[in-house]
Structure 1
């Protein structure tokens, strides 16, 4: 009886999926994100993704074309999620200093709470961006982040608050470096120095630090202007 009941449950789930392909696709992407972030493109198993989503390899290939196609759409979805969240910040309504701090703190919050994203980016860097370079959307998705940051910096320069020798890509690099490091280097750092950078009790402290660091960088005079 238990086996028959289980079969019925799976049948109902399968029936729902057949009527809701978008839901099925999203479930596959969610599980594939975890699988690829843990094992990479080559180590990740489509069989495992199919089993966990109660689908089949054939269905996955129907939606995504191939294993690499699935991996690429996982990457696109990961970048799309952070950029959509950024657009909701409305930093244009804040002062340049507050807007810059808000972007820095948001990025830190996102990366430390979406660790699969950081792992995926780290894995893709091992492959020298071989796969995302084939994407038709990732470049445009990420250009919006630079445009938003550039708008904040330009307003700060115009009002005389920010230095003029640093551009949006420089600042994006600073913010990303600080926000990615705790996830990408958590275990080696903890082994070497005995501190867990993702300790919840330290989150607010590190969050303030990234905001302080970026604001201080942009509001101080360039080192070439200091008299020796």
Structure 2
């Protein structure tokens, strides 16, 4: 038996969220082409007619799920309160958050992979996501500027490239955990391996941004 959500009193917001939660599971498991609206209806406890009423179809539902996935990580990053921390502390906290988020939300990785297979067509015109991404880059840029001013970070770091690197050091490792286990010969998800990777990620990025000695 698959995961099934408990009954909740029906109202538009609850119903929409039930559908999104069930769809996230189904799309993460089967991708857009393999996902079944019947399964989403069964898991959510919402009939197919209501799913089409709220989202208009499987493609639009997938777009909503991907949007929600990005909005979740971006909103949690903004809630970290990094602007009030010392630059190095803020950067370490962001690195730690990113690693833990990717580790604890494997559906995010599979959904991003799926959207990349579709060449990002479901989010291409999404202004809200671009606005959130711009805010995220601005937050990282602010940390960098404060770090340069305090002497902790070097000048000339591209905030966009740094954002990509912060995501990449955890995303790639977790995304390739199965092929990596075979090719490198160790269990990527072993407790000690995860701890070593977390430490490596932090050391790598912190050395990348650190001020160079005169």
Residue of structure 1 equivalent to 2:208? 217
Unaligned runs of 5+ in 2: 1-5
1:205/1:164 Cα in 2 relative to 1: closer, same or farther (>3 Å)? Answer: same
1:160 Cα deviation after fit: 2.5
* Structure 1 stretches of at least 4 aligned residues deviating more than 4 Å after TM superposition: none
Does the aligned pair in 2 maintain the 1:76–1:138 contact within 8 Å? yes
Residue of structure 1 equivalent to 2:21? 30
More helix by share: 1
Residue of structure 2 equivalent to 1:104? 95
Structural RMSD (CA): 2.0
- TM-score when normalising by structure 1: 0.85
Please give the residue correspondences for 1:1-228 in structure 2 after superposition, counting only pairs within 5 Å. Answer: 13=7, 16-17=9-10, 20-221=11-212
1:26 Cα deviation after fit: 0.9
CA distance in 2, matches of 1:167, 1:159: 18
Does the aligned pair in 1 maintain the 2:83–2:143 contact within 8 Å? yes
CA distance in 1, matches of 2:47, 2:192: 42
Q: Deviations over 1:82-139 (max 9, x none)?
A: 1121112111222111111111111011011101001111111122211110323211
- TM-score when normalising by structure 2: 0.90
Q: Deviations over 1:31-69 (max 9, x none)?
A: 111111122112111111011112222100111122111
1:203 Cα deviation after fit: 2.8
CA distance in 1, matches of 2:211, 2:145: 16
Does the aligned pair in 2 maintain the 1:102–1:211 contact within 8 Å? no
CA distance in 1, matches of 2:14, 2:190: 34
CA distance in 2, matches of 1:196, 1:175: 23
Matched residue of 1:203: which SS?
Answer: helix
Unaligned runs of 5+ in 1: 1-11
CA distance in 2, matches of 1:39, 1:157: 45
CA distance in 2, matches of 1:169, 1:145: 9
Q: Larger Rg: 1 or 2?
A: 1
1:13 Cα deviation after fit: 4.1
CA distance in 1, matches of 2:64, 2:93: 29
CA distance in 1, matches of 2:111, 2:93: 24
